[in-house]
Amino acid sequence: MADQQRDLEFLRRTIVLADEAVSEGNHPFGAVLVSAENQILAEGKNSYKIDKGPGHAETNLAREAARNFDEATLRAATLYTSVEPCSMCSGSIYWAEIGAVVFGMTERRLGELTGDDPENPTQDLECRVIFASGQRPVEVRGPYSELEDEIAAQHIAFWKTE
C-alpha cells in the first residue's frame, strides 16, 4: 500500500474515533497506532469527560502502547491522529518511543476553530519543533489537505455547540 493511500485510510479511522469520542461526551479527537506491517495495534480517544484535559487521544494511546509493546515495535510504528499532536501529546509520543506521526489537520487550524474556548487552550507549537528537540528522530507527515475540511467540520460542529 502506498504511503499516501495508507495514511489517508488510517486517518479516516481517526475521524471515526473522534466521532465516537463525541458520542461518549468527550472532545473530537481520535488516534490509531499502526505497525510496520500495517496492522492496527491500538486505538485511542479523547477522555475529557473523565479527566478534564490531560487525557488527549494521542497521550492515552502513547501510554497504552508504552505499556504493551516493546521498543522495536514502537519505533517501527506510526501514530495516526486527526489533528496534529499538541505539545503534551508530542512529548508522550516521543517518550513512548513511537517512530512516526501522521496527522490530518494542523494544531494552528484547530486554534483558529476553537478560539478562546477554555476547554481547548491550544498552543501554537508545531509537533515537528518538539520532535526536532529530541535525541532520536520521529518522522512526521501531515497535514493532509484531502481530509482537512472533514476534520474541520467535526470541530466546527463540536466547539460551536458546547
Nearest to 34 by CA among 131, 3, 47, 146: 3
> Would residue 150 show up in a list of annotated catalytic residues for this protein?
no
Separation between Cα atoms, residue 83 and residue 30, nearest integer Å: 8
**Whole-number Cα distances in Å, 121 to 27, 54, 93, 114, 130:** 13, 12, 20, 8, 18
Q: Looking at 9, 20, 58, 84, which residue is catalytic?
A: 58
Instruction: Check the CA dihedral 79-138-68-70 and report its sign.
Output: positive
Query: Going by C-beta distance under 8 Å and a sequence separation of 6 or more, which residues neighbour residue 120?
Result: 27, 110, 114, 159
Residues annotated as catalytic are 58
